[in-house]
A and B are shown apart, each in its own frame.
Chain A
């Protein structure tokens, strides 16, 4: 109020000073009666001061009103003691404020709805600014890239030259472009990404990167080719031998009963080999097709190990091999697909029985590993290691990194004699990849081999136990 008081005095002085001056001159010249003049001037001053006071108060009220509105007061300070014109002005301002507020609410709702839509699109979406920095990313993008995205330059996340070129075209040439890029994290994924310019203020370009996962399509295309190539190549040999025997049976050995029995036995073996090969190829394709989808189930380790060991009781007894189970107590469950993990363990134990020493033992142990191998993809939550150890002849060092290659055989003759398809460990490797785990093979010739599978622990069931070291080969 002190401010408006000073203002009132200034206004009074400004308006009344010339009047007093004119009155003074008139009185001095004798044109005005001094007493009447003085009285008139005093009356004038009084009237003017009152009027000015009313206006100033009205303006002060308006100021408070605007201030209250600016601070977001919904029930602003009422102005009822001021001039009607100012009062009308006040209510006009309040009305204007109300419409603005409503519009703002509508816009906020629109933005929120937009954000919800943005977040619920199943495909990853990323918005970049004019400097190719990431402004925002929707939920699918956050889940897909599994690392903090906002504020980073796009090239620190996706450095594929084709994509950077598309971003550049969208930003500087206003051209929409779609590129296909391959990510390996660590299983290959193929994303089709469209970079399209978004409406923005001039000079501040904005780009939307709309990603679509086309891994499944690309994989099934490639898989079909691989399957045909592998199948035709590997099936040719047993098929040729079958045809050969059939020809012999129809021709020279037609009446030879002894040869017929022997040939039929061999033919049966070859046909079984073909059937095993086909079923292994089929399961390999099935796993490869889904390799980019991480399984989400939870599998208890001990029942899994026990069920696989039970299934092999007969086969183990035939070679008088003992299967020893040694799971650490209190193991957490692992994240995985129960059927695939069963197949994984099945293949490892089957190998151990096939190549292990007759009359020896095959040990299956499961622990919380103290150290993870370098090939284990970084993931929080720890891992469970399942190791299968045999007491066979062992494998020479130079073969170890190649064992999981499909149809790689250290000793083709021996593999054939024990009924191997050359795919068992390839299947294991792909299952491990799909689970984002790791496989290590340790072996010393003469000392047996240890195949260890590291699988991500299920955090929900995890209770930290003491870390243990795995047994080494031998």
Chain B
């Protein structure tokens, strides 16, 4: 889709930058969605496709980088425009990382396809869906230039963190139960970590969008609910306090 037309005006250049950014967002969103459905269905063909598509994201990231540098040099933007351009650069960086994590999840999906189906996989996929929702809201906020949506999405990262903590404990329990579970659970653990990082990058984007639209940095502290660093393996053997639904 490389439409190389001669850019005439500054406004057109800004417009083009936004279109490129949204296109990149769409690509990354699709990559994450595909990576998760490949994991859920253990579909190695789809996982291979995700790994192959990562190149397109990297190329687009490079294009945006170059475009931004050229605009900064030639147009010397001010105020609103400067914010939009700098924001685009930052958002593209975060999107590129998310794309890498999606590809990484797919690589592990392929590695996982040889081991038996283990139950915590559903939890990882579900956690991924929440991250995907947040990414979607953040991208919507970019195209609508909507600081409120960005802020709401920003607040939702704690959902991902909490699920990460829960999945982490669940995986540890499975590993302690049976050493044969260690290989698949380790893959799932890394995938869960990747998804947790995706949530963090989506939060970064939300902060950037907020800054781009309002001109102010988000001052509140980010809600952090990832407590895995304090997980004590002995504590895991205690029975749950309460039965589920």
Contact = CB atoms under 8 A, between A and B. Distances in A.
B245 A347 contact: yes
Contact of A402 (B3, B136, B166): B166
Interface in B212-245: 239-245
B244 A422 contact: yes
A392 B3 CA distance: 63
Interface string A412-423: 111101101011
Contacts of A412: 243
A161 B152 contact: no
Nearest to A347: B245
A245 interface: no
A165 B33 CA distance: 18
B163 interface: yes
Interface string A141-156: 0000001000001011
A256 interface: no
Interface residues of B, number: 39
B244 A425 contact: yes
B93 interface: no
Nearest to A165: B1
B13 to A, nearest CB: 15
Given A155-B23, A378-B149, A398-B169, A423 B245 contact: yes
A160 B30 contact: yes
Contacts of A186: 133
Contacts of A354: 243
Interface in A360-408: 374-375, 378, 392-405, 408
Contacts of A157: 143
A206 B153 CA distance: 35
A408 B241 contact: no
A100 interface: no
Given A374-B156, A403-B245, A156 B22 contact: yes
B244 A403 contact: yes
B22 A399 contact: no
A184 interface: yes
Given A374-B155, A402-B166, A418-B243, A159 B25 contact: yes
Nearest to B142: A156
Contacts of B114: none
A147 B123 CA distance: 33
B46 to A, nearest CB: 13
Contact of A164 (B15, B23, B123, B244): B23
B19 A153 contact: yes
A411 B133 contact: no
Contacts of A375: 156, 159
B241 A420 contact: no
Contacts of A396: 240-242
B242 A410 contact: yes
Contacts of A118: none
A335 to B, nearest CB: 21
Interface in A302-353: 347, 351
B20 to A, nearest CB: 10
A65 interface: no
A424 interface: yes
A159 B166 contact: no
Contacts of A418: 243
B26 A160 contact: yes
Contacts of B26: 155, 159-161, 164
B143 A155 contact: yes
Given A156-B22, A161-B23, A395 B241 contact: yes
Interface string B6-42: 0000000001000100110111011001000000000
Nearest to B139: A159
Interface string A171-193: 01000000000101010000000
A394 B241 contact: yes
B109 interface: no
5 contacts: A155-B26, A160-B29, A378-B149, A410-B241, A413-B243
Interface of A: 147, 153, 155-157, 159-162, 164-165, 168, 172, 182, 184, 186, 347, 351, 354-355, 374-375, 378, 392-405, 408-415, 417-418, 420, 422-426, 428, 445
Given A159-B22, A402-B123, 18 more contacts: A156-B144, A159-B26, A159-B29, A159-B139, A159-B143, A168-B3, A186-B133, A374-B152, A374-B155, A378-B152, A399-B244, A402-B126, A405-B122, A408-B244, A410-B244, A411-B242, A420-B245, A428-B245
